[in-house]
Chains A and B, each alone.
Chain A
């Protein structure tokens, strides 16, 4: 199993450009999450999904959109990138019936917005 993978690993954007980050998991997990990691602030939840076709807002959703068209994929979109969105983005997943909330994380995407 590859676990949770993220594409791309690095990206540099100019202000106003758009892009999509892809998260894929091969563990048949129902729940998927997008976090951003900023120095001194830990990980903050952007959006999450509890199943195919469903998404919900997390703590810091503004400026992002998400889609979960397939169970194994969770896409994070930036329609008009801003320097404040410079961050490291992590995707995570968990099985609905898991007895413990141990989320499995991808390796991250480092995004710089100039």
Chain B
């Protein structure tokens, strides 16, 4: 079955530091890959997405590249801000007709001023 393995947290960084959150996946076929973000007290919001190999998703300064050869979709940001403090989830969508998502365990990011 499908699975997503995500870098364990929590991660604490100083403002303007470089961020990497690792995500690898196992899936049959060609899944779509997502990063969702959950701000304190809120539901999940889509941060970025990629649908095929070598696609780069980007949003709000965050980037992730769909690497089929390494089955990875690592999240990066060159300079984090305090407002980026949140929980980040890597997810995949496989070939299920019910369009189910499989999530990683989530990574708590705290950015200190």
Chain B, residues 68-99, CB within 8 Å of chain A (1/0): the string is 00000000000000000000010001000111
Neighbouring B residues of A98 by C-beta, 8 Å: 99
For residue A34, give the distance in angstroms from its CB to the closest CB of chain B: 12
Taking the complex as formed, is B46 at the interface, i.e. its CB lies under 8 A from any CB of chain A? yes
Cβ-neighbour of B32 out of A35, A41, A100, A105 (below 8 A): A100
Number of interface residues of A (CB under 8 A): 26
For residue B11, give the distance in angstroms from its CB to the closest CB of chain A: 14
Cβ-neighbour of A90 out of B44, B49, B97, B105 (below 8 A): B44
Neighbouring A residues of B104 by C-beta, 8 Å: 42
Contact (A101, B101) CB under 8 Å given A42-B106, A43-B89: yes
Neighbouring A residues of B103 by C-beta, 8 Å: 35, 42-44
Binding site secondary structure of chain B = strand
Neighbouring B residues of A31 by C-beta, 8 Å: 98-99
Q: Is B99 a contact of A94 with CB atoms below 8 Å?
A: yes
Taking the complex as formed, is B22 at the interface, i.e. its CB lies under 8 A from any CB of chain A? no
Interface residues of A (CB under 8 A from B): 4, 31, 33, 35, 40-45, 48, 50, 56, 58, 90, 92, 94, 98, 100-103, 105-108
Interface residues of B (CB under 8 A from A): 4, 6, 32, 34, 36, 41-46, 49, 51, 89, 93, 97-101, 103-106
Q: List 13 A-B contacts (CB under 8 A).
A: A42-B4, A44-B103, A48-B100, A50-B98, A56-B98, A100-B49, A101-B32, A101-B93, A101-B99, A102-B49, A107-B43, A108-B42, A108-B43
